[in-house]
């Protein structure tokens, strides 16, 4: 019995046991985050335009604003052209063009920004119109490409970029220690990550576009975005490793995968997510990347300033924290590498 207990002690050392507990916690959080975000999507305050003659405009907006559960956040627009411009700028998810001389209106949609939001608007506005003995004819102004099922290709592309970024950083940690021994080594790692980011950004753009035909848009534009997303994920991993050693990989999974992916607006766009995920999504790399990829693919590059600034902040912040903690990491490379191998 003592020999068996000794074997267990050698096979599962205290450090490994603690890491296993950490992985257990991550698994539970993964289930809670994804199920919490996706199990019951409820439209809430979807930005929505209303185009109508002045004499009925206020009444139409008020009627939609008073829908049970507040699924829409309607605002009056002066013309159909203004509605189309706001759709392109991604300020609204749809717009109702009211024709008081007939019993049929038109519902302008942009499924390129996400099929779930377009479907929700079709259902919500259809029911509201039916209550007034009217109908709304959908018109997809910025449609998703035929090869982009449910508008998810942009999300999958960003997930692939993100996974590549943090796995690259994790591999460097496993091979040579989580904390660089000095700033020179930290700089070399960041430069290597930069080369890797450019390569994966280009390859991902070529695969998703010219090869698979799953996402339209500029390959060059997606390439630049991909490089930012990969570097943001990798630099974040470096920063967490600098702060917490090998445990930093788990922190990256927590931020990028557990919190970032379900809140990215991929399967369900922000107005359909619960409040917590809706608020954090735009501030995390997967959410910023998914929004920007859809803008490149379907909206001629509009509404990208905010997401690009978010990604740039993660890139710069991760790099700066990595360099800062590398000055505290002298001599740790070999020690941590040997601990990981054990």
Q: Which two tokens stand for residue 326?
A: 């590398």
Tell me, what's the pLDDT at 1?
Answer: 58
Record the pTM: 0.91
- Domain count for the chain: 2
Domain stop point among 140, 155, 186: 140
Tell me, what's the pLDDT at 25?
Answer: 92
Distance CA 117, CA 124 (A): 10
Q: How far is CA 26 from the centre of its chain?
A: 19
Question: Are 272 and 179 found together in one domain?
Answer: yes
Q: Is residue 11 part of a domain?
A: no
Question: Are 117 and 51 found together in one domain?
Answer: yes
Tell me, what's the pLDDT at 216?
Answer: 96
Sign of the alpha-carbon dihedral angle for 29, 31, 33, 34: positive
Question: Are 92 and 225 found together in one domain?
Answer: no
Domain stop point among 140, 163, 193: 140
Q: Is residue 63 part of a domain?
A: yes
Closest CA to 52 of 106, 15, 4, 123: 106
Question: Are 120 and 172 found together in one domain?
Answer: no
Tell me, what's the pLDDT at 339?
Answer: 44
Closest CA to 110 of 58, 49, 174, 168: 49
Question: Are 307 and 328 found together in one domain?
Answer: yes
Structural domain boundaries, residue 175: 147-341
Tokens 């970029």 map to which residue?
A: 161
What number of other Cβ atoms are within 10 A of residue 104's Cβ? 10
- In a 13 Å sphere around the CA of 303, the CA atoms on its Cβ side amount to 22
Q: Is residue 110 part of a domain?
A: yes
Q: How far is CA 23 from the centre of its chain?
A: 23
Q: Are strands 46-51 and 72-77 parallel, antiparallel or unpaired?
A: parallel
Question: Are 76 and 101 found together in one domain?
Answer: yes
Tell me, what's the pLDDT at 2?
Answer: 58
Profile the chain (342 residues) by mean pLDDT over runs of 10 residues.
57 71 91 94 97 94 96 97 98 97 96 97 97 96 93 97 95 70 85 97 98 97 98 96 88 96 97 97 98 98 98 97 81 44 44
Domain stop point among 118, 140, 162: 140
Q: Is residue 337 part of a domain?
A: yes
Distance CA 215, CA 209 (A): 5
Question: Are 130 and 151 found together in one domain?
Answer: no
Instruction: List the CATH number of the domain containing 65.
Output: 3.40.50
End-to-end CA distance of the chain: 24
Tell me, what's the pLDDT at 181?
Answer: 64
Question: Are 58 and 175 found together in one domain?
Answer: no
């Amino acid at each position: 019995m003592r020999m068996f207990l000794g074997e267990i002690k050698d096979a599962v050392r205290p450090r490994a046991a603690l890491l296993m507990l950490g992985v257990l916690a991550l698994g539970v959080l993964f289930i809670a985050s994804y199920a919490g975000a996706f199990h019951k999507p409820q439209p809430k305050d979807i930005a929505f335009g209303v185009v109508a003659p002045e004499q009925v405009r206020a009444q139409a907006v008020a009627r939609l604003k008073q829908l049970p559960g507040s699924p829409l956040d309607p605002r009056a627009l002066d013309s159909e052209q203004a509605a189309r411009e706001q759709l392109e700028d991604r300020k609204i998810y749809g717009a109702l063009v009211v024709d008081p001389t007939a019993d049929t209106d038109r519902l302008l949609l942009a499924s390129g920004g996400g099929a779930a939001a377009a479907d929700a608007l079709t259902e919500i506005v259809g029911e509201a119109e039916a209550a007034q003995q009217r109908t709304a004819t959908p018109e997809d102004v910025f449609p998703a490409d035929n090869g982009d099922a449910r508008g998810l290709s942009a999300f999958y592309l960003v997930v692939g970029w993100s996974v590549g970024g943090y796995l690259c950083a994790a591999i460097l940690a496993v091979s040579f220690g989580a904390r660089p021994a000095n700033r020179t080594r930290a700089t070399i790692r960041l430069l290597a990550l930069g080369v890797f980011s450019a390569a994966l950004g280009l390859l991902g753009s070529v695969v998703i576009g010219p090869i698979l035909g799953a996402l339209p848009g500029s390959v060059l534009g997606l390439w630049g975005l991909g490089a930012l997303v990969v570097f943001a994920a990798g630099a974040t991993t470096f920063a967490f490793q600098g702060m917490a050693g090998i445990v930093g990989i788990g922190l990256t999974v927590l931020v990028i995968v557990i919190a970032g992916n379900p809140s990215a607006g991929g399967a369900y766009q922000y107005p359909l997510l619960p409040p917590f995920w809706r608020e954090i999504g735009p501030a995390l790399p997967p959410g910023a990347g998914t929004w920007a990829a859809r803008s490149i693919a379907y909206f001629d590059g509009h509404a990208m300033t905010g997401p690009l600034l978010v990604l740039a902040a993660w890139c710069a912040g991760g790099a700066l924290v990595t360099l800062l903690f590398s000055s505290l990491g002298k001599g740790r490379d070999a020690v941590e590498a040997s601990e990981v191998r054990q």
